[in-house]
Every structure is written in structure tokens, then in C-alpha cells.
Structure 1
Amino acid sequence: EAFTALYRRRQGGVYRFALRMSGSEALADDVVQETFMVLMRDGGNFDPSRGSVAAYLYGVARNHVLRAFERERALVPFDEETDEAADASHENLVARPDPLGDLTRGEMFERLRLAVLALPPHYREALVLCELEEMSYAEAAEVLSCAVGTVRSRLHRARAMLAEKMRGRRDAEASGEKETEAGGDAAAQGLRTARCFA
């Protein structure tokens, strides 16, 4: 019963973390399964004095995602299902009260998602844990097995890289059109929007 309760409480967060790190629903499902299998098999080795159960689970999930990256030597490509889902969502936009606003938010969210997935893994995991999973620096440091200062540094660098990627994408899309919103503002707004979609 305790395991089932823990699974129900924590599996969603582990899944979101793996999905945001990899961009693959299939890999995220595998990571959740493997993470909780490790807990079942090696749960007796968990030492609460070394950190929280959540940090332990995210750490195991992180290791599985990084191993998958090593096996594939590249980011996992997006499934065709993602494109099909996007097409279906565009068809449903007409029935909504503000289809243009919904479309704009959806496009910005997709640009942000692609920009986050393009970050190097060690920056991406700090960003995902602190910004999207809303962990404290200390909690993220536990998961990443590093110092709080390292988390802060990686997060700062990830935000800067993300702002640059968002600015570059926006500039490429605008193709000479002047826009007033700065890339950093767009990235920050996008992260706030991403939390709403989670």
C-alpha cells in the first residue's frame, strides 16, 4: 500500500521530468517504469538521512535519461504522434473563443519546448527541475548530486542560452520584422506558460 501511494504521488513528476528532458513520451514511460522498479528492487538501500524520496526518484530517473542519451548519442527525435496531435489541436482551434490567442500561445509553447530540448543535458536538467518542476536549488542539488552553487550557475547559464535560442528563433521567424519583446522576456514568459500546461 505504501509503495502504491508513493507511486501515485510521484510518478507524474518523474514522467514530466523525463519527458521534458527527452522529448519522447515512450522514453518517459520507460523511465518511470525503470525508476519505480529500482525503488522496488533497491528501496532498502535508500537512506533518508542523505535526501528525500523525491530526490532519490528524480536522481534515478535522471540516470536513466542520461543513459538513454548515451545509447543514442543524440536527443530523441519527436514522435510522429506529436505532429499528429499538433494537427488535431489546430483543427480544434476554430471552436475556441480566442483561436488566434490559443494558436499564438501554442506556437510559443512549441518554440520554447524545442529550445529547452536543444539545451545541453546538464543545463536542461537544472532548468527543468528548478523552473518547470519548481524545485528549490537545494532539492535540485540533491537530485543532481552537486553543490547548490553549481545548480545556480547551470540555471543561470541555461536561462541565458534559452533566451538566446528564443531570440534567435523569433528573429528568424520575423525575417526582418521589428518586434518589441526581448528574447529573455519571451523565454521567461514561455516558462511561466509552460508551467500552466504541465
Structure 2
Amino acid sequence: MPAQHPTAPPVRDPAGFAVFYEQQFDAVLGFVTRRVDSPHLAADLTADIFVAALENAHTYDARRGAPVAWLYGISRNVISAHFRGCTRELHAVARITGRRLLDDEDISAIEGRIDAARAARRMAAAHAALSDPLREVLDLVVLDGLTTREAAQALGISSASARVRLHRARKALRTTGQTRTDSREAVLEATQ
């Protein structure tokens, strides 16, 4: 489960943002490695997420939830944009840039994280038959450990809508018998 950090992203303070980056890096990289299987792509997307967070630090509102929920919303958007294939040039530049910055030790560490998250990716693939809105809430709550309210914030929907979507997703998975999603503990058992 990603650590919840109380520090908000500082606006116009590069030194303060560096502290925020250090606090949130593991949570964001974990979010990414649960969704991709390439260490280079994971490194690129994680960097892109923090660039977007720095550029959008002024949009963070502590009243709407924890910084990690805000970052997961940004992460979701960055990853979705990547998979929609922004442009061929951007995709090629991102891959090349990431490969130049990674040494063998970095690649081994990210590959280790990807291997550790492989079971979680298999579980996510098992519920691929769910509609996107249901799957997004389920992922944020069950895989990423957000509360329903934080998931609602990350998705830009009401808490009531998030609860309904989560209930429907769990019901659909129970009905099809694809996986147990009754509790976070069941998911953690399955990923070990």
C-alpha cells in the first residue's frame, strides 16, 4: 500500500518540490509499474508525471484529498495519454531519453519492481472486461489503496458515483468469478 504523505506540492518552490518528489516517488513508481511492463517506459512515465505535477502544483487543493490522490489523478492522465499514442515523435523521444538516463543498476531495480508487480498486472488483466469507469475506480481503491473519496477526487467524480461504481465492479467480478475483490487483504494475498 503506498504511503500517505501529508506534504502538499509547493507552488513555485523547486527545492520544496524536490522534497515532495522524494516523498511521493515510490507511490508514483508503484502506480506506474502496476500498469506497464517495460522499465524504460516506467521511468519515462514517472518522470512525465512529476513534470506534470510541478507544472500543475497550483491546482492542488488539500480540501479535496491527500496529495497521493492528486498525483494518482495526474498519473492516470499521463499514462492514458501515452497509451492513446500522443504522437509518434513524442513517443520515440521519450523512449530514447529514458534509455540514455538509465544504467544497468537502474534497469535491474525497475525490472525487480515490475516483476514484483506482475501478479497485480495479471489481476488487472482478469478484470479487463469491466467498463472503463468501473475498472478505474476499482484500480484506484483496490490496487492503489486510495479511499473511495480519494479515488473520486482522482477521477473528478462525486464520492457517491465512486461508491456506486466500486460496488458494481465488485459485484460484476463476483458474478463472473474472475477474482475476489471483497477486501484489500484478498488482493494483497493474491499479489504475494
TM-score range (shorter-chain normalised) is 0.5 to 0.7
Q: Offset of 1:125 from its aligned partner?
A: 2.0
Amino acid in structure 2 at the alignment position of 1:3: F
- Normalization by structure 1: what TM-score? 0.58
1:123 aligns with 2:134: yes
Q: Offset of 1:140 from its aligned partner?
A: 1.0
Equivalent in 137, 140, 146 of residue 135 of structure 1:
146
Larger relative contact order (CA 8 Å, sep ≥ 6): 2
Query: How far apart, CA to CA, are the structure 2 residues paired with 1:151 and 1:110?
Result: 22
Q: Offset of 1:146 from its aligned partner?
A: 0.1
Equivalent in 136, 159, 174 of residue 170 of structure 2:
159
Aligned residue pairs, count? 148
Does the CA contact (< 8 Å) of 1:112 and 1:190 recur in 2? no
Distance 1:189 1:154, change over 3 A: closer
Secondary structure at the aligned position of 1:71 is classed as: coil
Query: How far apart, CA to CA, are the structure 1 residues paired with 2:166 and 2:145?
Result: 12
Equivalent in 44, 66, 71 of residue 30 of structure 1:
44
Equivalent in 164, 188, 191 of residue 195 of structure 1:
188
Q: CA RMSD in A?
A: 3.5
Q: Taking every aligned residue pair, what percent have the same amino acid on both sides?
A: 27
Structure 1 residue runs without a partner (length 5+):
73-84, 90-106, 168-182
Q: Offset of 1:131 from its aligned partner?
A: 1.5
Distance 1:68 1:139, change over 3 A: same
Q: 2:81 maps to what in 1?
A: 67
- Normalization by structure 2: what TM-score? 0.59
Q: Offset of 1:143 from its aligned partner?
A: 0.7
Distance 1:187 1:47, change over 3 A: closer
Does the CA contact (< 8 Å) of 1:124 and 1:158 recur in 2? yes
Q: 1:8 maps to what in 2?
A: 22
Largest Rg, 1 or 2: 1
